[in-house]
Structure 1
Amino acid sequence: MSEWRTLCRLEDLPDGESRGFDAPPGGFTGLFAIRRGEQVLVYVNSCPHVGVPLELVPHRFLDRKGERIVCAAHGARFRIEDGECISGPCIGDVLEAVAVRIEEGEVRVPVEAGR
């Protein structure tokens, strides 16, 4: 049975927006979350092309229309719903999805996420 940790409160992640989170203590890679209504998708903050964080500006993971995830390093674009790259140097690669559940108004991920 996996242990879970709180990433943030659901109310702190506005609908249609994204937010980045630092790696957990002793971890290596941060995470980012995108909210779509009551659904939250969480991915490891690492581009599958070269392994760099996706954003240059804190919390800016989405294009201007909020329709795609964009890697600031080289412009690769990823679908929000499944993290698959649809344009750029890593077409067909996918972002690493993280299990997520919402309980008592909190967005929770497995303790090992980002390690």
Structure 2
Amino acid sequence: MSGTPTQQILCALTDIPDGGSKGVLPNARGRDQGFLVRKGDEVYGYVNNCPHYDRAPLGWKKDEFLNGAKDRIMCSAHGALFRIEDGACTIGPCLGQALQPIPVTVKDGMVLGAVPATPKAQA
């Protein structure tokens, strides 16, 4: 089995509110394995796991992965904050660590993601 990422449609760009977030890649139990954050026409994708506490989902409820100011990604388990643009932890117990990115592109109004065949989130 190859670990080469495969490109797939994650959602329409309009499914993500500008300045908001959206969970994607639900597993068999419905937990989103990844999430997207939109800033204008830019979209950033990450695996839905905190680097401090592996397998802990970041969102505090469906499609809510940002802090109140909507300028950082926030871990619901312990409040760590991460930069949207690169996933680097800026506050919290995981300083020096970063979220695992999901490379994404926007084409013809659709968000496409290069999802690994066996992402860490499903291990």
Please report the TM-score for the alignment, with normalisation by the length of structure 1: 0.88
Check 1:2–1:92 CA distance in 2 against 1; reply closer, same or farther (3 A cut). Answer: closer
**Is contact 2:32–2:48 with CA below 8 Å preserved after alignment?**
yes
Q: Which amino acid aligns with 2:22?
A: R
Q: Partners of 2:69 and 2:80 in 1: how far apart?
A: 15
Aligned-residue sequence identity (percent) comes to 42
Give 2:14's aligned residue: 11
1:34 counterpart letter in structure 2? V
Moved over 3 A (4+): 22-25
Q: In structure 2, what residue type is equivalent to 1:39?
A: E
Q: Indicate the RMSD between aligned Cα atoms, in angstroms.
A: 2.0
- Write out per-residue CA displacement over residues 71-109 of structure 1, whole angstroms, 9 at most, x where no aligned residue: 010111111111111111111100011111111110000
Question: Quick one: distance in 2 between partners of 1:58 and 1:24?
Answer: 14
**Aligned residue-pair number:** 113
Give the unaligned 5+ runs of structure 1: none
TM-score by length of 2: 0.83
- Give structure 2 stretches of 5+ with no counterpart: none
